[in-house]
Amino acid sequence: MCCVNISHKRRALVAGVDQDSKGNFQMTDTLDTEALRAKYEAERVKRLRGDGNEQYVEPVGQFAHYLDDPYVEVVEREPVTDEVTVAFVGGGFAGLVTGARLKEAGIEDVRIIEKGGDFGGTWYWNRYPGAQCDTAAFIYMPLLEETGHMPSRKYTQAPEILEHCQRIGKHFDLYNNALFSTEVTEIQWEESSKRWIIRTNRGDEMRAKFVAQGTGPLHRAKLPGIPGIQSFGGHSFHTSRWDYDYTGGSPSGEPMANLANKRVGIIGTGATAVQCVPHLAATAGELFVFQRTPSSIDVRNNQDTDPEWFATLGPGWQQEWLWNFTTLQTGGFTDEDLVMDGWTDISQRIRDKALENGDFSEEGLVQAYHDSDDEKMAEIRARVDQLIKDPATAEALKPWYRQLCKRPCFHDEYLDAFNRGSVNLIDTDGKGVERIDETGVWVGDQHYELDCLIYASGFEVGTSYERRSGFDSIGRDGVRLSEVWADGMVTKHGTHVHGFPNLFIVGPNQGANLISNVPHNLTERGATIAAILRHSIDGGFDEVEVSAESQDEWMSLLEAGGRSFGNDPSCTPGYYNNEGKTETRGTRNFLGYPDGPIAYFDYIKQWRESGKFEGLQFR
Ligand code: NDP
């Protein structure tokens, strides 16, 4: 398998594209699926490594400074030892939307505890040039109607999203009681007082009747474990802590003038690099992009929002858009595609292919997915040929895997950046950078001297819960959540864990699991938690906890349904499939409601509105 050798002409044919007499690539009707599969497999095998997630270095010890907050001066303060009704760990969208729903439910005493110097979560940290959201702003930015904000563009830039986070914080009066630049180190249930004790790195020891945690699926930055990484003598940083003091420029796009005479390297070509490379390319004296696996780069086609059109949207429009997107994104039918983006395109292609084949059986749907994906990926590879002038560079930028094996990317300037004379694509043919030394980076026997090395190496996904969140939760009888979740999450609805009364988890997992629009999961979960807390407070209860039986039933339902995101071992390795290693933890964490996100959202709405909260015990 490792030695499949496909000639240039043959390569074009397997992709479903062919060259005309002038050398231009055209889509063809012929698609040699067997050769295509062999090519995918050969590329996958090249990238398999025994160390999986262990190939990455945790930013601790000598690497801890990579996580320092470059955006604020941390101000000394006295430790906090008071008590609140609700403490929320994490000030990103999860904390903000849950806080908003709690306030709407009349629960005022809410404290958000956040590691960063402000609200925003991922949008607080990720201020790299070009950062923007790949999901359309009208559905991605939560609470638009409540806060009266009109997104300026279909896909908004990061500064606008950060500002929106601050807007939610102000609108719902969440700043008042928040603690910033504060990292939770442990939360512990105290049976005698029926309270959670929350300890932090600032010496705080506060109490809360209820605790919720939403620390984000991509929270903890990771570094590539490349031999010699500690020895680099130039300047280096991770993309989630962009050092504008060094580069010049700003998150809103001012050119990074300080890089004009610098040799800059960037390791990684995932969704982050795809967005920042064009900006680096425009300013760096010379740019070296070290690639292990190319991303798939589909069309972006961003547009400004027309205020007149926006003013025509009636009350309830955002909920309608959310519903429309989720229905289409998960294979359903609507009269109209309101969002019309890359995500709804992928799923409608699969749905329409199944219609065309007249086969909606499980096998039929898999076949439809394969057929439509082969066409889509052929288009994506043909786009590389259209946009890249140098054929060898074009060849290296083509992704050979299914689009959903890795995070699909959408960009209209990334590929073109490689046509600049100052930009060098250093393709490592799946092997990755070999070594780093004091002056630069080695790939094979070639050394690249660098002034600055940027790690676009992503975030931990498949590692243990307490490592990713940075703290452990200790429930009844001293049982640690890290122990209960050693082989993956065990919950009801992704929210409740038996043995952890008055504790709520806020994320997409084991619920709707709608990865293409994470905030939708969070607003629904926030509404559900607000309803439970309202009921608990009104009833004068001390505790609310899921029963062991109800939790088991939920896990059995999910496991029997087998609906999971990613985890396809036939994919090229990446965080979508636990770096190619199928393990119980990864499989379990990404389980979702068997009938899909729309059915889950319907189910959970009825569950919370019934007022019975079936499966929970109020004491
Ligand atoms: P990723 O994990 O997607 O990418 C990490 C990159 O580093 C990969 O290209 C990886 O290669 C590469 N890499 C790792 N080790 C080495 C090595 N030793 N040598 C060379 N290359 C190496 O991280 P990102 O930060 O790009 O993205 C993370 C996620 O954040 C995205 O998938 C997305 O969900 C989210 N995001 C969302 C955006 C949005 O629009 N909403 C924008 C940006 C990010 P390989 O592929 O071979 O593993």
| pLDDT for residue 604 | 98
In this prediction, residue 16 has a pLDDT band, given cuts at 50, 70 and 90, of very low
Q: How far apart are CA 223 and CA 268, in angstroms?
A: 10
Per-residue pLDDT at 305 exceeds 50: yes
The helix/strand/coil state of 52 is helix
The span from the CA of 573 to the CA of 53, in Å, is 10
3 state SS of 573: coil
What is the predicted pLDDT for the residue at 447?
98
Distance from Cα 424 to the centre of ligand 1, integer Å: 19
Mean pLDDT of 559-570: 84
CB 397 within 8 A of CB 389: no
- Parallel, antiparallel, or unpaired: how do β-strands 452-455 and 235-238 relate? parallel
Residues of the chain with pLDDT > 70, as a percent, come to: 95
pLDDT at residue 31, as a whole number: 65
- Give residue ranges with CB within 6 A of ligand 1: 47, 132-134, 218, 224, 226, 267-273, 275, 290, 292-293, 407, 432-433, 456-459, 574-575
Distance CA 56, CA 59 (A): 9
User: Per residue in 350-371, is it b (16+ CB within 10 Å) or e — as a string?
Assistant: bbebbeeeeeeeeeebebbbbb
Which residue has its alpha carbon closest to ligand 1 atom 24?
A: 458
Q: Region 435-445: what's the mean pLDDT?
A: 97
pLDDT of residue 247: 98
pLDDT at 575 over 90: no
Q: What is the pTM of this model?
A: 0.93
> Ligand 1 pocket check: which of 161, 292, 579 to mutate, most ligand atoms within 8 Å of Cβ?
292
Query: Is it the case that residue 403 has pLDDT exceeding 50?
Result: yes
Per-residue pLDDT averaged across 39-51, rounded?
Answer: 94
Counting the structural domains of the chain, the total is 1
3-state secondary structure of 388: coil
CATH number for the domain harbouring residue 196: 3.50.50.60
Q: Where are the alpha helices (H) located in 502-547, listed in sequence order?
A: 518-538
Average pLDDT, the chain: 93
Residue at 48 is within a domain = no
Task: Identify whether the C-beta of residue 356 lies closer than 8 Å to the C-beta of residue 148.
Answer: no
Encode pLDDT of 241-282 as tens digits.
Answer: 999 999 999 999 999 999 999 999 999 999 999 999 999 999
357-393 confidence digits (pLDDT tens): 898 888 898 899 999 999 999 999 999 999 999 999 9
Quick one: DSSP state of residue 379? H
Q: Give the whole-number percent of the chain exceeding pLDDT 90.
A: 82
Q: Is residue 293 part of a domain?
A: no
The residue whose CA is least distant from atom 48 of ligand 1 is: 574
Instruction: Name the residue with tokens 């008055």.
Output: 502
pLDDT of 205 higher than 70: yes
In a domain, 534, yes or no: yes
For ligand 1, what atom is nearest to the CA of residue 430? 47
The pLDDT, as a whole number, for residue 30 is 57
Return the ligand 1 atom nearest residue 240 CA.
25
Mutate-to-test residue for ligand 1 from 272, 431, 576, highest number of ligand atoms within 8 A of CB: 272
Q: Name the pLDDT band for 494 (thresholds 50, 70, 90).
A: very high
313 vs 22, higher pLDDT: 313
Host domain of residue 589: 83-220+462-618
pLDDT over 70 at 6, yes or no: no
CA of 340 to the centre of ligand 1 (A): 25
Flag whether 32 is in a domain.
Answer: no
Q: By the 8 A CB rule, do 601 and 75 touch?
A: no
Beta bridge partners of 207: 83, 197
- Please give the average per-residue pLDDT across 46-72, as a whole number: 93
What separation in angstroms does the CA of 168 have from each of 96, 211, 286, 316? 7, 20, 41, 18
Position 214: which residue type? Answer: G
pLDDT per position as a tens digit, 498-555: 999 999 999 999 999 999 999 999 999 999 999 999 999 999 999 999 999 999 999 9
Question: How far, in whole angstroms, is CA 210 from its chain's centroid?
Answer: 27
Determine which residue's CA is closest to atom 23 belonging to ligand 1.
458
Please give the distance, rounded to the nearest whole angstrom, from the Cα atom of residue 458 to the centre of ligand 1. 5
Q: Is residue 128 part of a domain?
A: yes
Report which protein residue has its CA nearest ligand 1's atom 41. 133
pLDDT band at 466 (very low <50, low <70, confident <90, very high): confident
- Would residue 577 count as lying in a domain? yes
In this prediction, residues 394-407 reach a mean pLDDT of: 96
Nearest in space to 414 (alpha carbons), one of 526, 279, 264: 279
In this structure, the residue with its CA closest to atom 18 of ligand 1 is: 432
Calculate how far, in angstroms, residue 406's C-alpha sits from the geometric centre of ligand 1. 9
> Do the domain assignments include residue 28?
no
pLDDT at 4 over 50: no
Residue having the nearest C-alpha atom to atom 10 of ligand 1: 268
Taking the centre of ligand 1 as the mean of its atom positions, its distance from the CA of residue 560, in whole angstroms, is: 31
Ligand 1 atom at shortest distance from the alpha carbon of 133: 40
From the CA of 574, give the closest atom in ligand 1.
48
Asked if the structure places residue 198 within a domain, the reply is yes
Is the pLDDT confidence value at 300 over 90?
yes
Q: How confident is the model at residue 11 (pLDDT cuts 50, 70, 90)?
A: very low
Flag whether pLDDT at 574 surpasses 80. Answer: yes
